[in-house]
């Protein structure tokens, strides 16, 4: 839930050019992820004219284009109906231009947080490019059956041990016995599965989910390696457990994200709705999470750290974009490597730089690299599936 009162105050400061860096970051995240109703409420708080020329870049995301078109239509209607004076319409449009400028900045650029640097146009010209990842996965059954899932589909559904795609196309029939299944995505792949109890799981790139083809007994248990977002079907008589290398997540019915890539050596669990229990096997340590909280567990550690977070950044991948929230360069490049199935080679490595920004995961890799280059702090070279940081 956004604090609209605070956002209105920050927006006034933004228009008056008195907003602090921390407030600007908060506004950027809000305008990238808010609802239309929230935009209207925050915009409606402003009656300040903004003297600036503003042109919407042609590469704006559809969400921003739709917002611009909707506001244009409203302004036209208000002008025709003469519900507002010309001066009021101009004031309104000035505020809208400022918001769209802010959204454009948040969506298509990234900057070094401390100290801030001027955003510059990238000068690197790439002779090659690499398309974004897509719907790619393999399902393996304990009887040895292996199925390469269709790249034209995005979800498989289990019903009474049988599987079909989201459009009803049959996939396979189980022979009646309960088997162990593994859904595995490669680098550059993602997929969704609806388990036999109705639980939905979004699997990120380079990840695997192990689960029974049908849940039996008093517990629903799955094992995750990598990253996944869960919407667990509620069943008070049959708890749902997600097992990782270093923790067990226990739930009844809720929505949460787990990032547990082995090479990261940390497990981050972010709760969006409901409640979950994070437990460490063997030592009795556990923590309860409430919405908007994230736990962090270091592999081999006996401690669980919990903090309040902006959940949008944790599930951005599931919603189709990269969202970097004060994130270091090497962490960003690991995400790029997984999604575009590339190797990252460093001729030089930027130090002590944190980035904030949002880029669509549907873009070719050149657009992501270009956004990073616009900080003026890093350059890239593409050679086959190798990205060199120069």
Q: Is pTM, for the whole model, over 0.85?
A: no
Report yes or no: 43 and 95 within 8 Å, Cβ to Cβ: yes
In angstroms, rounded to a whole number, what is the distance separating the alpha carbons of residues 356 and 107?
A: 10
In angstroms, rounded to a whole number, what is the distance separating the alpha carbons of residues 350 and 338?
A: 20
Using a 10 angstrom Cβ sphere, with 0-12 exposed, 13-18 middle and 19 or more buried, the burial of residue 317 is buried
> Residue 301, SS3?
coil
Contacts of 362 (CB under 8 A, 6+ apart): 132, 320
Residue entry with tokens 């960003």: 332
Distance, C-alpha 235 to centroid of its chain: 28
Query: Which of 250, 244, 257 minimizes the C-alpha distance to 278?
Result: 250
33, two tokens:
């992820």
Quick: pLDDT tens for 223-242.
999 999 999 999 988 999 99
Mean pLDDT, residues 258-279 taken together: 94
Quick: pLDDT tens for 273-299.
999 999 998 778 899 999 999 999 988
In angstroms, rounded to a whole number, what is the distance separating the alpha carbons of residues 307 and 281?
A: 21
Residue entry with tokens 């192990």: 210
In angstroms, rounded to a whole number, what is the distance separating the alpha carbons of residues 98 and 94?
A: 6
In this prediction, residue 251 carries a pLDDT of 93
Extended strands (E) in 261-303: 266-273, 276-279, 286-289, 293-298
* Highest mean predicted confidence (pLDDT) among 50-54, 75-79, 302-306: 302-306
Quick: pLDDT tens for 62-108.
444 455 555 455 544 544 444 443 333 333 444 444 454 444 444 44
Query: Which of 249, 345, 340 minimizes the C-alpha distance to 297?
Result: 249
> Residue 251, SS3?
strand
In this prediction, residue 257 carries a pLDDT of 97
Mean pLDDT, residues 367-378 taken together: 84
pLDDT at 120 > cutoff 50? no
Contacts of 390 (CB under 8 A, 6+ apart): 347, 348, 379, 380, 381
Residue entry with tokens 């498989």: 156
Report yes or no: 388 and 380 within 8 Å, Cβ to Cβ: yes
Q: Hey, what long-range contacts does 195-201 have (CB within 8 A, 24 or more apart)?
A: 195/158, 195/220, 195/222, 195/233, 196/158, 196/159, 196/160, 196/161, 197/233, 197/235, 197/238, 197/240, 198/233, 199/230, 199/231, 199/232, 199/233, 199/240, 200/230, 200/231, 201/228, 201/229, 201/230, 201/231
Q: What average pLDDT is seen over the chain?
A: 79
In this prediction, residue 52 carries a pLDDT of 38
């Amino acid at each position: 839930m956004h604090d609209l009162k605070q956002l209105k105050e920050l927006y006034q400061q933004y228009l008056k050019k008195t907003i602090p860096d921390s407030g600007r970051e908060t506004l950027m995240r809000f305008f990238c992820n808010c609802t239309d109703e929230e935009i209207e409420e925050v915009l409606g708080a402003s009656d300040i004219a903004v003297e600036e020329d503003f042109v919407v870049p042609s590469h704006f995301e559809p969400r921003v284009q739709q917002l611009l078109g909707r506001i244009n239509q409203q302004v036209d209607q208000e002008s025709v109906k003469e519900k507002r004076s010309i001066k009021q319409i101009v004031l309104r449009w000035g505020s809208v231009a400022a918001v769209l400028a802010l959204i454009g900045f948040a969506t298509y650029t990234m900057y070094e947080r401390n100290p801030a640097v001027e955003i510059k146009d990238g000068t690197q010209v790439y002779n090659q490019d690499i398309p974004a990842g897509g719907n790619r996965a393999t399902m393996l059954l304990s009887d040895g059956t292996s199925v390469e899932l269709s790249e034209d589909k995005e979800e498989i559904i289990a019903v009474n041990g049988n599987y079909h795609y989201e459009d009803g196309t049959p996939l396979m029939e189980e022979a009646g016995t309960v088997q162990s299944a593994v859904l595995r995505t490669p680098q550059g792949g993602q997929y969704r599965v609806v388990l036999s109890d109705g639980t939905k799981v979004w699997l990120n790139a380079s990840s695997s989910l192990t689960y029974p083809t049908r849940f039996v007994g008093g517990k629903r248990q799955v094992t995750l390696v990598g990253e996944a977002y869960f919407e667990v079907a509620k069943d008070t008589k049959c708890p749902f457990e997600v097992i990782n290398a270093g923790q067990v997540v226990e739930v009844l019915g809720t929505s949460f994200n787990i990032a547990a890539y082995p090479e990261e050596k940390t497990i981050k669990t972010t709760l969006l709705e409901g409640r979950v229990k994070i437990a460490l096997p063997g030592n009795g340590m556990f923590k309860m999470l409430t919405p908007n909280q994230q736990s962090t567990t270091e592999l081999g550690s006996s401690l669980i750290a919990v903090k309040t977070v902006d959940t949008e950044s944790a599930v951005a991948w599931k919603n189709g974009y990269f969202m970097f929230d004060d994130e270091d360069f090497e962490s960003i490049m690991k995400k790029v490597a997984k999604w575009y199935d590339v190797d990252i080679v460093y001729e030089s490595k930027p130090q002590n730089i944190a980035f904030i920004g949002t880029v669509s995961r549907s873009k070719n890799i050149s657009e992501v690299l270009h956004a990073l280059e616009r900080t003026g702090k890093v350059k890239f070279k593409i050679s086959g599936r190798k990205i060199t940081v120069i």
